[in-house]
Chain A
Amino acid sequence: AQSVTQLDSHVSVSEGTPVLLRCNYSSSYSPSLFWYVQHPNKGLQLLLKYTSAATLVKGINGFEAEFKKSETSFHLTKPSAHMSDAAEYFCVVSLSGGYNKLIFGAGTRLAVHP
């Protein structure tokens, strides 16, 4: 069965410092992996997607993620946090095979302090 585990429920950083949000996945075959962001009272926005091309994926707003098969990880990073990055982040794996079902992790709440 496919699943994702987000290793931190809360991460707190200072503005201008690096961000690391950790995600491990479980999949019996090469997965499609995503990071989505959810700002308060807003819908989910796609940050980036991995689909077995380059292992380093660049997304919007300066975020990127690296797919590491040997570690079954797909961590999200950003070199310098901005106050507007404060939100809930979800690591997601896609279950294919006839229909497009997304399996979400429990989420990581990112707080950014001045």
Chain B
Amino acid sequence: ETGVTQSPTHLIKTRGQQVTLRCSSQSGHNTVSWYQQALGQGPQFIFQYYREEENGRGNFPPRFSGLQFPNYSSELNVNALELDDSALYLCASSQGQGLTYFGPGTRLTVT
């Protein structure tokens, strides 16, 4: 098991609501990335944070936003939830551009 933890494990929300997912990076890692994995697909890069600044973004709308805190933990916020946002959200941490380690994910269901 990696040292990356995520909470909650599962979450059910209604369309239009907002959600916050949390991630604690592995000790010593200063870079956190978030990925969305829809059912039956490979993970897709949402964005990356390095030392509290967004450092790269994938093809996701602005209603997907994030934060990284001084202890390198991170949050993913999604506003105005849509049914297609239902997915497994994976947090990953690394030391700069070193090896990437993934957390177990948060399963989000939007109804």
Contacts and interface: CB of A to CB of B under 8 A. Distances in A.
Given A100-B33, A100-B97, A101-B58, A44 B45 contact: no
Given A90-B42, A98-B55, A100-B48, A42 B104 contact: yes
B103 A100 contact: no
Interface in B1-44: 2, 4, 31, 33, 35, 40-44
Contacts of B90: 43-44
Sorting the interface of chain B by its residue count into under 10, 10 to 19, 20 to 34 or 35 or more gives: 20 to 34
A28 B47 CA distance: 23
Nearest to A32: B97
A99 B104 contact: no
Contacts of B103: 43
A57 interface: no
B95 to A, nearest CB: 10
Interface of A: 36, 42-46, 49, 90, 96, 98-107
